[in-house]
Structure 1
């Protein structure tokens, strides 16, 4: 009962801050910032944490913000939210939709939108931070609230660590994070063990011999070579892995040539591989290299293909015991709205933070889609067609009950360690 009583006491203030959180969310949604450019977001986060008497560390890893609230002796809990947006042109039609453009790392002017839901994550963590600061009697210990940049690039956590994060904050006994997904708003899903995949990105360049489009016999066509590679790569998952060995392989881009009547000298393929264990990862990456090299050899390529590794994300593997504790807390808090989440093929760099501290962690999902809209699509069998997913230009979680759920989930998880064992409601 102590955990439930503590949670009830802390979230009792949610009604009083709900309107402010919704306004903050709308403003953040309308002012998204690309990875490593989260200056406005970071400043607004830091300002609020300071007003609630958190010890605030700014500029960690560039734009990262960490707030530490000590409340007597006890465990340390870390709660994390990511802040960056995507180079996507928003098409939600919302009155607070983003019209922002920005210059990306390569110097291009691109549209920017919170198409992944990180604005939800930031708002919910601020809500939890405010409630915990306002109601200190039901808990004791130290709360660390971490706002991370550049999750989308996969290097935000590493940059914070390289900038001395482990020296700035006490070692957490446990770490928590959450992500809004295209499920009915109000639902919460946990999963012990593997939850999010690892991801490996690579740019593969294949080399041919250029010629006039009218004389293909004088060329070694890298466009054809790349096309054959794309088709053959699709057989790795379907023909080289067992049915119970999940993996995803995507060729997201092919870039070659500048004119329809010119056979180019080379072609580039951008490849993304997602796996859940090291054995599968090694097998898939080895198969990619084998197929690319073989197709180049079969085509008579003038030189060996080039493999340039890109961003790599670690797997997210939730601690079994910690997940059981959080699942039990969610069952108490949300009743039948709490359940088990499906294995996700998306990737995250959150786990690098607790791994660096040697701390266990769990990462869960909250829904963000209007429940009636989702139910209608489910009844029609058109969820995949009608429900926008993360990174879609149409993805925008409904404000409520999404924000309330995210705040309550973070509070409930934190209190699995921080609740006073003898606390009872008055």
Structure 2
């Protein structure tokens, strides 16, 4: 098979494509220019495609020989984060054209690797079997699932045998790839509540019911409750990111808000955490004569991502034919969350981590940080692994 030559032909393409996408960064569900770029590349590569949502598209490669049906997925959105022109060590190779948006999670790399994989598969199309779908998903960071829902509705009619996706990962050495089975990323639940009190003059707290004070006490009380309510053998994190209330130093406000999320690998424990959160909020507020209203997102919003054990075993068997066996690595699950959990619940799936950490190049900052950057030399490993798994699974007996 000619895939080795095809990989050489695509090395510069994947890097240059990633840089162009990085410059085009747009927030979730605003990916107009990014989407236009993807559509243009799909056309250049000669694939048929269907737009299934405003900025979500699925391309298709149908070979002439029977085989399995494989779906490959990439998320396309950026973040509303202003990136620093430097990474952890030096000036970036490229920077976003927009000061209010950037690819500080690596989705530009995901799209570039999928397009490059399409380019390789097209070059060796006459040697392939099966059917391939290439899914470009909008709005992953937003968590509203518009893109993923549209893709899954489309794939539901295609008899998909497996789905593959890669996420670049800052904790893994550049060029390493992890296809381990089991939990890979965490489930997520919202922790969002409005505390309703009674406003008044800052000089007379006795005539008011201060919701800011109540919100502060809720946060303090949560720590002790978690120790008693959550299984000590399980990991559930609570990230309170915002307390909002008032705006003037001598006026008690009528309301205050607490915003945050839970992350977990065991959905039962995630539900217990939400229940405990609601109980603390209600009882603490009642102590001070206040009440609470919960945002409808104070519930489990996304389940953990789990790589299928048989898919993982198969990948570990076949990938050494496409990448150096030393590239295969293991790493602990990641407590961030991702919409791929929906694919993984529907189809036998792999959610791979591709290492992009390189201290000499300044790559390895936390995802969503202004200093986040990737080692672009790792991208070809991601392309090889994607193509390797796809064509091997399509030919699987």
5 Å-filtered alignment, 1:130-279, equals 130-154=119-143, 155-161=145-151, 164-166=153-155, 170-182=158-170, 183-279=172-268
2-structure distance, mates of 1:11, 1:231: 58
2-structure distance, mates of 1:331, 1:217: 71
1-structure distance, mates of 2:116, 2:385: 11
Residue 21 of structure 1 aligns with which residue?
14
- Specify every segment of 5 or more residues in structure 2 that has no aligned partner in the other structure, as ranges: 87-91
Contact 1:88 1:112 in 2 (8 A): yes
The yes-or-no answer on 1:79 pairing with 2:46 is no
2:332 alignment partner, one of 325, 342, 348: 342
Q: Secondary structure at the match of 1:366?
A: strand
- Specify every segment of 5 or more residues in structure 1 that has no aligned partner in the other structure, as ranges: 1-5, 102-110, 375-385, 422-426
Residue 53 of structure 2 aligns with which residue?
61
Residue 89 of structure 2 aligns with which residue?
none
Distance 1:55 1:117, change over 3 A: same
2-structure distance, mates of 1:11, 1:79: 20
Shift of 1:237: 4.1
Deviates more, 1:41-50 or 1:246-255: 41-50
1:88 alignment partner, one of 81, 88, 94: 81
Shift of 1:387: 4.0
Shift of 1:419: 4.1
Shift of 1:210: 1.3
Contact 1:35 1:153 in 2 (8 A): yes
2-structure distance, mates of 1:80, 1:207: 43
Aligned CA-pair RMSD: 2.1
Moved over 6 A (4+): none
Shift of 1:54: 1.5
2:381 alignment partner, one of 389, 399, 405: 405
The yes-or-no answer on 1:415 pairing with 2:391 is yes
Q: Secondary structure at the match of 1:115?
A: coil
2-structure distance, mates of 1:74, 1:217: 75
Shift of 1:354: 5.3
Deviates more, 1:150-159 or 1:33-42: 150-159
Query: Any idea what the Cα deviations from partners look like across 1:22-51, whole Å, max 9, x if unmatched?
Result: 222111111101111112222221222222
Q: Secondary structure at the match of 1:309?
A: coil
TM, length-normalised to structure 1: 0.85
1-structure distance, mates of 2:349, 2:147: 15
Q: Secondary structure at the match of 1:123?
A: helix
